[in-house]
Structure formats: structure tokens, C-alpha cells
Amino acid sequence: MKLNIKNLAIAGLVGLTFTACTFDEVPNPNAPSVEDATSDPGLPELNNLVRGTESAMRNGMTIYTTALGTISRELYLFDADPRNTDDLLGKNGKTLDNNSFYSTAAWNSRYRCIKNCNLVMEAVNATTAVTDAEADGYRGFANTVMALQYLLVLNSQDENGLRQDVADPLNLGPIVTSKADNLTFIQGLLSTAATQLGNAGSDFAFDLSSGFDGFDTPATFLEFNRALAARVSIYQEDWSGAITALNASFFDIAGDMAEGPEHFFSTGQNDLLNGVFKAPDQNGDQIIVHDDFINDAEAGDLRVAAKTAARANPSTQDGLTGTHETRLYSSPSDGIDIIRNEELVLIYAEANAQLGNTTEATDGINAIRSNAGLADYAGATDANSLIDEILNQRRYSLWCEAHRAVDLRRYDRLNDANVAVDRAGDVVYERFPIPLNDVDAD
């Protein structure tokens, strides 16, 4: 077994700018050590770990988003790296490389964050500075974030699997290839975290960034946890479980579709920028909208104008052309949604469609359509027709957020029969390979 993961040290422990928050001085804040964090740490050390964990959640999101968006042909990334239009699109049958950035960057970023989560729990177990309720707040936070990181790994790797047991970097567990087992494992982490958050009292002993405004107490963070559980449930095809989780989340069919926590970015010193933002009409580094997204849209769909714009001139690279580019973010300091009410309404519609609850499914669809400026759904209401409509609404509501590839794959549609292939000989890939340095030895 090659132990690349064991070399993932504490990542991102500083650099996340928090608004309207103050922090105590911490020992050696620019180079915190494992010893500082796990030898009866005080509140400053514990909270620096939380701060770094939230910061680490953002790393690698640009590659994760654009790579999954490319294989599903919802976008093209035109930049100086030919692999974005070559490898990722299977040009002339080319296979994906297990040692290229699209295989390694997102994987390594997620496992660095998982390492931080494990350090949070080690530190809480070693400290005498917090009450039992406060300790459960740290644990509930860490287990929720860890579950999300594993889910993002699984979204990329699918049946190639993930490594569940990484608590001891010197004694890693094997790659688990059963998708069902991996989803059960992730759901279990969320369930454990939910219990911990329920025991955590009324307030956390730590602060989160403004990206978690409204989700920064144990009770409201638990709603975020349950929202993630609803997402996992539809991946498991546990439709009743999804409804149960939604009812404990911040889901509101009549509420603000934009409500939800997000990754925080800023132009502050040492902080991260939103790499999915692209300046309008620039050359060289562009996220180009696949023409089918524009051409297939219903007339008057507000999401198209909100998320995309026509370039002054169509952009062409490597035999591919697009007339529109991203406007999903207006600046490099815009947040990236982790999960929001709009997705929860779509989950509600999908779960009810699968359960045969036609009225509830249609209500969810119409809430999404109304928010997009569209008339109520007037199509057939059998389960297959409703799912077709829901997948179409997910396509437009969640564009360039790394959902399209997952959605098509779980309905066996991530293939050249259902995905536009614009060059002869190109291949539609369903999953990314395990990075070379983390492949288990035979």
C-alpha cells in the first residue's frame, strides 16, 4: 500500500478570514503542530483547528467542479492545460490518467480536510478546557464536515471507491469499492454527528465564518447536517429516509431558494479566492457553457440569464466551440454554496416522485419552476416523466456545481447516448481513477 495520505499534515489552519469575529492569540499560529493540538489543548488551539478545517473544506473545489462538469458536458474549461479538453473528454479514446491533477488534486484536498477533522476529535478527547456539551459540539462539527469530504471523494470516484479508515496515517485501511458500503459509512458519520450536535447545548464554543451565518449553533448546524443526510439518502435510493432528513433540515418549499451555508472566499491577505469565478469576456482562462445548456432551455428561464452570458465572440479551443460563458459568480470573493434550499426542494420532489406521491412531487417541481420564472409543470405525472422533469430542473438549478455528472450516473445516463459528444472519437467517462500514490498494492 502506498501511503500518500499519511503525508497529509495539518492543512489550512490559518488564512480563513472571519468577519465580525475576534480570536485569542494562539501558539505559533502560522505553523501549528500536532503536539500543540493534541496535548491538552486550550480553547485557542481547539478553535484554530476548527478554523483551519473550515478553510480546508474549500481547497480543490475549482478542479472538483470543473472536472465533473466537463465529463458531463455541462461546461468546457478553456485554459492553457490541454488535458481539460483532451483527457477529460476522452479525445480519440484517451483514458484518464491516475497521476494528473484531475485525479489527485480533489482527492488530496478532501483527505487533508479529513485529517483536520480527525485532529479536531483527537484534540477534544485530549482537552480539559471544554464541557462535555461543548466537546460534542466540536465532534458534531468534525463528523459532519468529514462526511461531506468523503461524499465529495465518492462523487468523483464512484465505484472505484474510497479509503474510509485514515485515522492512523501509519496504518491505513483498504480502498473500499462498494458504493453502497461507502454511502452507508457516510450516512453513519452524519448520524453520529447528529446525535453529538443534539447533545451540544445551545451554542458552540467556537466561531465559524460568515459563510455559516444562520447555521452557526448546534441546532442550526444540525439542520445543515440533516440536509446533507437527505442528499446522501437519494444517492442510496432511500426515498423515505430523504423525506425524514428533509423534515429535520432547513428545507422550506415556500422559502428562500438561496438559503444555506456556503464556502467563504475573500481577497484578504493569505485567504483563498473563488476559482470558479471567471472575469467576463476574458481570453485564456474561461468556463464555457455547453451550447446544449443554452439551446435546450425553456424560453424565459431566469436561471440561464443569471448563470451565463453570451461572449462578444464565440470561444473555440481544440475543436470545441461555445457561445456563452459563466456568470455564476460576480466576483472572486463570492461564496460557493455547500447545499441550499433549492437543492432540498429538488430532493423533496425526487423522493416523492419515487414514492408515488404525485401531488407532493409536482408541488416541488412547481416551486422550482416558479422561482425560475416558468409556468407550472403541465407534463405527464407518471414516475418516469416526473423524474425526467426533475433531472432537467436539477440541470438548470445546479449548473456548474458538480451535480450533473452524479445525477446522470445514478440514473444510468452518464454515457454517449445521453450526453452530447461534440467530437468524433470522444469518450464519456463516469468516474475518476484512484490516484497513483494511493492505489492499494496487490
Q: How far apart are CA 353 and CA 440, in angstroms?
A: 40
- pLDDT, the chain, mean: 92
pLDDT value for 440? 85
pLDDT value for 85? 97
For the residues 210-217, what does the mean pLDDT come to? 98
For the residues 242-270, what does the mean pLDDT come to? 97
pLDDT value for 17? 41
Q: How far apart are CA 166 and CA 108, in angstroms?
A: 13
235 three-class SS: helix
- Please, are residues 405 and 67 in contact by the beta-carbon 8 Å criterion? no
CB-based contacts of 100, cutoff 8 Å, min separation 6:
83, 87
pLDDT value for 441? 65
For the residues 127-148, what does the mean pLDDT come to? 98
pLDDT value for 181? 98
Q: What digits encode the pLDDT tens for the residues 386-404?
A: 999 999 999 999 999 999 9
Q: Where are the domains of the chain?
A: 5-267+336-438
Strand order in the sheet with 308-317: 75-78, 286-289, 320-326, 308-317
pLDDT value for 387? 98
Residue 18 pLDDT exceeds 50: no
For the residues 90-115, what does the mean pLDDT come to? 96
Q: What percent of the chain has pLDDT over 70?
A: 91
pLDDT value for 34? 66
Which residue do the cell numbers 491516475 mark? 98
CATH architecture of the region 5-267+336-438: Alpha Horseshoe (1.25)
Give 325's strand partners.
288, 309
pLDDT value for 31? 43
- Please, are residues 73 and 395 in contact by the beta-carbon 8 Å criterion? no
Q: How far apart are CA 374 and CA 376, in angstroms?
A: 7
Residue 24 pLDDT exceeds 50: no
The pLDDT confidence band at residue 38, using thresholds 50, 70 and 90, is confident
For the residues 427-433, what does the mean pLDDT come to? 97
pLDDT value for 270? 85
- Please, are residues 185 and 236 in contact by the beta-carbon 8 Å criterion? no
What distance lies between CA 326 and its chain's CA centroid? 19
Q: What digits encode the pLDDT tens for the residues 313-370?
A: 999 999 999 999 999 999 999 999 999 999 999 999 999 999 999 999 999 999 999 9
